[in-house]
Structure 1
Amino acid sequence: MKKLFSTIISMFLYISVALADDRLALAFNILTDDDSKKNSIIDPKAQKKIKFKLFSTQNETIYMNGNEIVVIDDRFEFDIEGLEGKQEIKFTNNLNEETTFTYYIADENGMVKDYTIENEQAYIKTVDDVKILYTEKDADKIEIVTDLIDNMPDKTKSNLEEITLLPTEHKSGAAGITSYDKISLYNISDYTNKQIKNIVSHEIAHTWSYDLMKQKELDYFYTDFNKAAKEDGNYVTKYSKTSASEDFAESVSFYLTDNKNFEKKHPARAEYIEGLLK
């Protein structure tokens, strides 16, 4: 706790100094725009430029890799054509400040040079603006994942940004873990194609639930969904008994992958999900 408190105080003092002369330090003033996250992996087939923006227009000259940048409406770009592997974009200004953004750019085959997943060479494929990172171990299963995403209703993947297929087992034994808009899948090649579809759609349902809560179409207690589940009077799977959030994710998963059977066995849930998709 003392260490955390000390860190917070240090950050506050640093920011206070940065703002003392009514200007932001360079490291705070340059932000990434759109999908160009700092320290990001880029698929050049889906993204041709890295976009940046200034938090505040200030009386300073900014250089990008030694060249003065041209800023239009507080925004500027970096063309990645012909670049591969690790790329460091260094920003400096006339006040001797500097900050660096690191990117990993894939080649035409999707291989991301200089970047690994659990010490294995990483690859990237993009479908519907969703980045999918994987290794050779799971290369044969990528099409199952991309086809699933490609054919899902847009709303269900509205909050999905990235899926990483790790060639290792999670310490809990979980097949998938969701963190807001990102999904990690573990040893996915060990499952059947049908199981993979269920696992992936289940985790995507979790990302969707966060967006629904943000839009206030779903509350944190899943109140309206629970009413539908109670009306059905059953569970979708044994795992759906765990919690309302898991019941929701399982329901969406089977609604998407086995619709006819799901509607027959769980009509109230199916109607509820259909309402969310309208």
Structure 2
Amino acid sequence: MPTGMWWFIGAACGQLLLAVALLRTRSKESEGPRPDDVPPPQALALLRGGRRAAVTVALVALHQRGAVAAGRKHTIRANGGPGRTRDPVQLGVHGALHRAFALRDLALRPEARRAVDVLRRELRGAGLLQPPARLWVARALLGCVPLTVAAGAYATGATGTGLAGALVAGALPVLLAAVVLLRLPPATRAARRLLAGLRDRYPLPAHRREVTDGWLVQLYVALYGDPALALFLPHFSRDGGLLDRPGEVDRNRPPQERGPVPGDGAG
């Protein structure tokens, strides 16, 4: 392998390390909420699973008040007014239901998007989501890693065994960059610590009858996603198409555990 190739590999490793350091840098605006502060379930869902997760929790809250129901062909439809709520995400999601929508389409409706985007800005200001510019720079640096390795192989004129050696040496930073890029976390370390701490405080119960508080149901769905949906709202989740893996409803709990729960119904 040409000696000059090591300079390019070193530059690729530097880009990778800089991107990782950038993602691990704490926001100067805030260190996140205090341990006793629990953000709303929609906010926690957004930190865990993004826009779709936040809309899902909003739908759970609306369903608990009878404001939405499962429609035909795994869709969600409005079932009356939004009820007594001032939550912007719930209002935005309900306002988007001019007709029945699948969850994926509902999350992209302008009313729902705007409401979630406002929540995202609030979480960014609280130091729980990465600033967009930081994410863009990190993505650009990670994308430059394979380009730098390829440019080095071309610039040094590596051929034959030299080219093979250059590609093998450059494979590690390229693979690491690909892994980081695929798992690029929009949530900050403060957010991940918050979610982990809340999961420790609120482990998913074994039986739905252990929970009678509708807000706790929302919290469990925000923290755990599909398993909590399948546990607490099996009919609504299945018929409304809320589950990523619909079969989970039938696999998670035996038939005797599928009785009525707070906020659930035949949909």
Normalising by the smaller structure, the TM-score range is: under 0.3
User: Which gives a bigger RCO, structure 1 or 2 (Cα 8 Å, sep 6+)?
Assistant: 2
TM-score, structure 1 normalization = 0.20
TM-score by length of 2: 0.20
**More strand, by proportion:** 1
